[in-house]
Amino acid sequence: MRIVGGTPLNGEISIGGAKNLALPAMTASILVDEDIKLTNVPLLSDIGSLSELLTHIGCDVRCNDEHSLTLSTKSLKTVEAPYDFVRKMRASILVLGPLLARFGKAVVSLPGGCSIGPRGVDLHLRALEHMGAIISIENGYIKANAPKGLHGCDMTFPVTTVTGTENILMAAVLAKGTTRLINAATEPEVVALADLLNQMGGRISGHGTSMIIIDGVDSLHGAEFEIIPDRIEAGTYAIAAAATGGEIFLKNCKCKHLTAFFETLALNGVECEEKIDGVRIRRRNAEIKPSDVQTAPYPGFPTDLQAQYTVLMSICDGTASVTENIFENRFMHIPEILRMGANVSVHGKTAVITGVNKLKGAPVMATDLRASVALVIAGLVAEGETIVSRLYHIDRGYEGIEQKLLSCGANVERFSV
């Protein structure tokens, strides 16, 4: 993407469906032999990758229109999720729980995805073993069997895990007896997945708190479900508006899903005005005020907005620190923004950022999904031309980003080399 910076963003951006809900919602279709219709599904490469994997194992994935899918898993071709599919994204591990719950067996490659540090699946496997599964890891594959089916258990996660909570939630909904997930993730996407499972006939309570209780049922049925708006996409465009000194209305943004984030932006001197159908973002003053943040599980400051926020602080009036508590190696965007004139030093898991008057355009390279969009934001505020390469990362999580930026006055162009 070629970006000529220095233009404030002004206009309206519609926030699409949450990728981090659409993916587990798609895998939930494995649990039932009736249709699951999902609406407000974002048009992203990750959705396409998971569709290919589900089709491979025997799920019928039909596109009703650009943002609607109907999935049906009446029978399976195979219980194996091969490396060639799973290596593309970590969310592929979410087929494990549903396959094991409904069919009693699964063979799933250890996952790939963004290189932002170890995100092991050991907590998923430990919980499934507590539920009666027999699991081994052979030649890079998880081999799981539950010849007598799964049974309920109490599982305390030593650390909060979103995909772990989702995987076991889907496994437990068809298990015999009651499962209690303690220290469960409370993200809006987890809550919405539980809502979908309940709509399918599940008996789940406590979602949205740190203890989720699942009373297993014998079978589930079809459902139609709307994917909630993507809070990370909303936060990204909010930072872009703040960084460029513009004003953007984020249509469909849910303020309650980003409370800690919007509270931080207010400290930065950014006005976040909640409306009935979205949030209006504008920078109140000429200067961005510094504010320290630490990433934390929901409802704390999201790790998926850390890279973007680091760029915002790179042009603040003062010094701020950003501490990454969720993933290792999530400062890989920093060497790239240093090339653009940022003043950042990294000490362990903390980045100390002293704001500069302006960034300057440069060729930069994306390393992961959120780093890629952070570099786009840096290009929007920089003086001169920025070229962001390896843009395929951004297509995993941001639908039509250049069109949305163009509609708000940005000078951006996607091209191939």
Nearest Cα residue to 389 out of 367, 409, 370 = 367
Q: What is the pLDDT of residues 85-105, one digit of tens each?
A: 888 888 889 999 999 999 999
Look at residue 115 in the predicted model and tell me its pLDDT. Answer: 40
Give the pLDDT mean for 249-273.
97
Q: What is the pLDDT of residues 136-159, one digit of tens each?
A: 989 889 999 999 999 999 999 999
Please, what sign has the CA dihedral across residues 398, 228, 301, 161? negative
Whether 272 sits among the annotated catalytic residues: the reply is no
pTM of the entire predicted model: 0.96
List Cβ neighbours of 157 (8 Å cut-off, separation of 6 or more): 123, 127, 164, 165, 181, 182, 183, 184
String of DSSP letters for 260-323: HHHHHHHHTTEEEEEETTEEEEEE-SSSPPP--EEB-STTSB-GGGHHHHHHHHTTSSSEEEEE
- Beta 278-283 vs 270-275: how paired, if at all? antiparallel
Q: φ, ψ for residue 379 (rounded to 5)?
A: -65, -35
Given the residues 59, 63, 114, 316, select the one marked as catalytic.
114
Q: Is the pLDDT of residue 116 over 70?
A: no
Q: Is the pLDDT of residue 111 over 80?
A: no
Instruction: Give the CA distances from residue 147 to residues 122, 143, 222, 414, in Å, rounded to whole numbers and listed in that order.
Output: 21, 13, 26, 51
DSSP 151: B
What does the alpha-carbon distance between residue 325 and residue 307 come to, in Å, rounded to a whole number?
13
Q: What is the pLDDT of residues 314-358, one digit of tens each?
A: 999 999 999 999 987 789 899 999 999 999 999 999 999 999 999
CB-CB contact of 147 with 106 (8 Å): no
Q: Which parts of 292-400 fold into alpha helices (H)? A: 306-313, 334-338, 369-381
Give the pLDDT mean for 182-189.
98
Question: In the structure encoding, which two tokens stand for residue 37, read together?
Answer: 């219709």
Q: What is the pLDDT of residues 267-295, one digit of tens each?
A: 999 999 999 999 999 997 789 999 999 99
Rg (C-alpha) for the chain, rounded Å, is 21
Set out the domains of the chain in order of their start, with CATH numbers: 20-216 (3.65.10.10), 230-413 (3.65.10.10)
Q: What is the pLDDT of residues 369-405, one digit of tens each?
A: 889 999 999 999 999 999 999 998 999 999 999 999 9
Look at residue 113 in the predicted model and tell me its pLDDT. Answer: 44
What does the alpha-carbon distance between residue 329 and residue 348 come to, in Å, rounded to a whole number?
10
